[in-house]
Structure 1
Amino acid sequence: LHNGKRYEHRELTQRGHSDLVLGMMDGLFEQSASTLADVDVLAFGRGPGSFTGVRVGVSVAQGIAFARDIPVVAISSLAAIAKKAADEIGAEYIAVAMDARMGEIYCAHYHYDGDVIHLLNHERVCDPAEFMPFNQRDCVGVGTAWRVYKTQLQANFGDLVVQVEPDYYPEACNVIKLAEIEVLAGNLVNAAEALPVYLRDNVAKKKAEQRG
């Protein structure tokens, strides 16, 4: 966001995150006729999500924030997906579920009141069978887990899920929209507090068990 105009570049990839993000930043600075010196606040997706992707994003945010001595805003990846659903399809109650691999999902329920995205319960990682409707509310199901675990999630929600959008991902434009609200509310932290949210603390252990 520069002089009131949003600039965005996005790409889905399984690897090479660190090389991509730096190149994308250079491209955005060129596109917006700005430089790193013009950055006053930095927003980043704190996760949950791909371990490598989240780690790279947080590391880059911390590095820039430390170098420039500027505050940062940490935005939930799940909330960014919910924001996309609210803006693009007018969703009010949103059940976000992302494939977390290892037979699990990252999930949470959100409510959009026309202005703000509200987290209704808490973000968690769980078995798809454990993600159930919130207070029997009709909702829109979004996120990759709605494709990967389609049968299980639709069995959980039944007729309460009125629309499913499985190809929704956290995007920079929605991170920025949520960050603008946080900045106005004064919810800023320093570089040292720019921390990732993985939800799963035993990733390495589970991978080792699968290999064993």
Structure 2
Amino acid sequence: MNPILAIETATEALSLAVRDGDRIWERHEIAARKQAEWILPWTDGLLLDAGVNRRDLQAIAVSIGPGAFTGVRLGLSVAQGMALALNVPLIGVSTLAALAMGAVRISGAQRILAVIDARMGEVYAARFAWRDGVLMPVGAAQVVAPSNLDLSGIDAGWHVVGTGIDAVEGTLRQRLPADCANDATALPHATDVMTLADVEIAAGRLSLPEQVEPAYLRNRVALTIAEREQGEKL
């Protein structure tokens, strides 16, 4: 299905991609709290670079979390608004899956543990396996303290990617096997959101814009005053 637009704003980056035919145009940069200001002009600019009229888009894909609450809401609201206005399907994609897909694309990883810093002393985490050209989840995504994350079976055959590696003073990095490939700078890219959306499109799993919901995993956005004070005492 072409052309298609993909949006990823669930982490500290603003990542957008447009595909038309066999060509993909992507813009990916650390946004430093500028996502809301830049997302619409960047989208217009990328569509212009690709020579794609917004009305010609056949679908929109968006990263739905878990990730930063404000980023997830921003990306989803923009994607829903555009999909509704254009009357096209909206495909929601796991942010952790997009992060894992990036490891497949960049390093050929077959088994991936994707971890994103969730703040508040926790990480978002999920395991994935690349099998027969498809990224498959291995268990459910979770939000957990890095000291409590189950690392059983994680060995040299695994790639661990994401900002969660160095979260909470590098707790997870200290627990990883020394020979385990890891990249704490890895962030999800819109190109990988698009790749995962292609699987959903091929399977006919198309959603109305209003049906796509964020995957927060956690309902709180900040520690309470008492929790912050307790943390300062530790």
More helix by share: 1
Indicate the residue corresponding to 2:163 in structure 1: 144
1:45–1:77 Cα contact (<8 Å) kept: yes
Q: TM-score, normalised by structure 1?
A: 0.91
CA distance in 1, matches of 2:124, 2:32: 18
Alpha-carbon separation, structure 1, partners of 2:130 and 2:188: 16
Structure 2: how far apart are the matches of 1:173 and 1:208?
A: 39
Query: How many angstroms apart in 1 are the aligned matches of 2:146 and 2:202?
Result: 36
2:126 paired residue number: 108
SS in 2 for 1:129: coil
In the alignment, is the contact (CA less than 8 A) between 2:166 and 2:172 conserved in 1?
no
Give the root-mean-square deviation of aligned CA atoms: 1.9
SS at match of 1:107: strand
CA contact (8 A) 1:94 1:109 kept: yes
Shift of the 209–198 alpha-carbon distance from structure 1 to 2, 3 Å rule, reads: farther
- Residue 181 of structure 1: aligned partner: 199
Residue 185 of structure 1, CA deviation: 1.0
Whichever residue aligns with residue 172 of structure 1, its letter is A
TM-score (norm. length: structure 2):
0.83
CA distance in structure 2 between the partners assigned to 1:209 and 1:54 by the alignment? 27
Instruction: Check conservation: 1:109, 1:134, Cα contact below 8 A.
Output: no
Moved over 3 A (4+): 134-138, 154-157, 207-212
Deviation at 1:131, TM superposition (A): 1.3
Q: Which amino acid aligns with 2:29?
A: E
Preserved contact between residue 81 and residue 142 of structure 1 (Cα < 8 Å): yes
SS in 2 for 1:47: coil
Q: Which residue number in structure 1 is paired with residue 15 of structure 2?
A: none
For the 8 Å contact 1:45–1:75, the answer to whether it is kept is yes
Give the deviation of 1:155 after TM superposition: 4.6
Q: How does 1:1-212 map to 2 (within 5 A)?
A: 1-135=19-153, 138-149=157-168, 151-158=170-177, 162-203=180-221, 206=223
Which digits, 9 at most, give the CA deviation of each residue in 1:53-86, with x for residues without a partner? 1110000011011111111111111111101111
Percent of matched pairs sharing the same residue: 31
Residues 134 and 43 from structure 1, CA distance in 2 versus in 1: closer, same or farther, beyond 3 angstroms? Answer: farther
* Number of residue pairs the alignment of both structures matches: 210
Amino acid at match of 1:88: I
More strand, by proportion:
2
Structure 2: how far apart are the matches of 1:110 and 1:189? 24
Give the deviation of 1:208 after TM superposition.
5.5
Unaligned runs of 5+ in 1: none
